Chain A
């Protein structure tokens, strides 16, 4: 019981954060729907038609819209469609903590030394997550019922329960995958990176099926199976999909247990023998290790390389679909063409600017969150104390971290933009190169703002930095999506960091860019003040 209590305690922050995010989101969407949908059937039909246009444009990110003239249909598309990714992120965070983070901190060794078996240890951690996830989903279900009541369009309880059941299966599947990935690497940071990439690829594999034929990869994606379930729309659960998600969860969790039992603590499942035979007593001669900023980039070379290659492949894939998507939309009803004009998505170039860059920002935000997690870990794991034992000011540490973040993202953006350009050229799309380069470069202002804000939180409360920054990223993303939909004022819209970036391929929002830079500068200055006063390791 003690172990289970501890496992539940580890879930506390994630449980609160996810329950709040999911609960507020469902409430906002339900009330927003009631506000704008109109009263007459004709108004509702018109609203649904407009939203379907938007839905097709966002089909890479959200499920195919259906029954948008009802609250249940709207929530299914607008909120629950993306909530799976949010909950999968929670599963990733907690699974990598259980599978690798606690081992890094020596907790696992302590527990095993008390006589707890490896199987029992991991099973308890899985159970802790399952209980927290179920509790969070129960709250979300209750919030959904309440929101529907407030919107005066009640949804049957059994439909809500089945929707939560599908999300629960998805979360366990994502948890199992992330737990298994954690066995393949030796650090929490590595597990977060690799696990994040794997889950993202699986998510995008499903997303790609909405605009094309299902690939074999989609059949491996729990997101694909989750999307087969549409209980809120009264279609119940797909037994095969539920079975598949449960199987994915079970198989990967069992593989994780086998790997955990088989491998040495502190080692990866597949670790080779040390290649160094000769005793070495001299420091490494690599000049990059001794150069400010470059040393940090060198330390993360594999990580940066992985992100650059992964996103370049993704860019090539997404941009490669541009002509197909735009041509099919342009060939659609007049209303569709009207929408493209209003949204500033007329032409291939503008479409790439609107769709690809909004995705890239989201992905770089995930990279930034991982970096902030690393900065917090530097403090908790004693590396910061070693760095500060050299004649290095705390201010220099902060500046170097932010510079290395922006430079690393600059490398990733350069590689991915090159891939996007090659993909566009391959389709005969004539991109305005200077403008495309400018739009790519300006993304770094979002990274700077998010990184500085993240560092400020990490300096203030390291343990909540990741959750807080993730919340900002999620808030920014959904606000960017919701604000145009509900016609919210600019002041609200601009509280999204992503909205401030705008769509530079069609016109640079210089005031938004200036605001992002301002947020970055203010965040940096406040961070510099915060790190001067705080105790290292506190």
Chain B
């Protein structure tokens, strides 16, 4: 079966280490795929490459088997797009923008436009310059979904949306998937991908760090540990424990991140009075931070 998105060695090198490098990625037809990374990681560059807005330095990107660069026009018949940076339409009314883009696409039903605009609670009768940032974002989403595309590419789609309309957006994504569409969305909001994504890729400094399912990512064997000691803290033994990282001591309390099994840690605390021992699965936020920050920052941010 043809993959929705397939990239091999996909690279856009802007110089000075900026861009995306050697990206190998596969997005299956019909899945919702999250593309996570901090600002400047290369998410928008990847999306602009897939949309044929910029040309790759090397490598290839294919959408439903078509070359994203060479077959850009054919690709876009199958793709809806929401850019990360919203365009400026000045004094145009929302109705005019939608009609103009619909005219360019040629495959848009007015009823679909109305449906999406109503779900997002967007008044198309107002001038673009009168729209708030959130309303501009809603209009970008209308333009992305209105042609019922086979693939929807969304660059930070919930930016500026309030929680109520974020839920409406998640509903649009779910409906698109249930209708057989593939959704590729970039974000740095983890709760967003937790809501809707089947699989997630994480990029950092222009490089792909990992691709996994949401369950796999959350289920990584890493735990937040908090131990309260009644008397002295065996800090040397704890620091020497294999897999116990990011160790912090505050009074009688020790915190850290444990990877692997519990046996070495339990051995390290044996013989000491422990008043409380807490372990919990890390949140996606904490997993995310372990990929993007140094350990000290990760611990600080996770608190």
Contacts and interface: CB of A to CB of B under 8 A. Distances in A.
Interface stretch (A111-119, A242-250, A279-287): A279-287
A538 B80 CA distance: 22
Given A289-B96, A382-B88, A281 B122 contact: yes
Given A388-B52, A535-B55, A537-B53, A104 B88 contact: yes
Interface residues of A, number: 39
Interface string A369-394: 00000000000011101111111110
B90 A392 contact: no
B127 interface: yes
Given A286-B99, A290-B99, A290-B103, A281 B117 contact: yes
B301 interface: no
B267 interface: no
A262 interface: no
Given A386-B87, A392-B73, A281 B53 contact: no
Contacts of A281: 113-114, 117-118, 122-124
B74 A391 contact: yes
Contacts of A274: 126-127, 130
B122 A390 contact: no
Interface residues of B, number: 51
A391 B77 contact: yes
B51 interface: yes
B124 A280 contact: yes
A284 B97 CA distance: 8
Contact of B100 (A186, A289, A381): A289
A391 B81 contact: no
A186 B91 contact: yes
A386 B83 contact: yes
Nearest to B102: A283
A246 B94 CA distance: 44
Contacts of A284: 93, 95-96, 98-99
B52 to A, nearest CB: 7
A535 B103 contact: no
B150 to A, nearest CB: 13
A295 interface: yes
Residue among A274, A386, A392, A535 with the highest chain B CB neighbour number at 10 A: A386
Contacts of A536: 48, 53-54
26 contacts: A104-B88, A104-B90, A278-B125, A280-B123, A281-B124, A283-B95, A283-B110, A283-B124, A286-B99, A290-B100, A299-B92, A383-B87, A385-B87, A386-B83, A388-B51, A389-B80, A389-B81, A389-B83, A390-B101, A390-B105, A391-B77, A391-B104, A391-B105, A391-B106, A393-B73, A535-B48
Interface of B: 48, 51-55, 72-74, 76-77, 79-81, 83, 85-96, 98-106, 108, 110, 113-114, 117-118, 122-127, 129-130, 143
Closest 4 CB pairs between A and B?
A290-B103, A382-B87, A280-B125, A390-B104
Given A281-B122, A533-B55, 7 more contacts: A274-B126, A276-B125, A280-B124, A283-B99, A381-B87, A389-B143, A391-B106
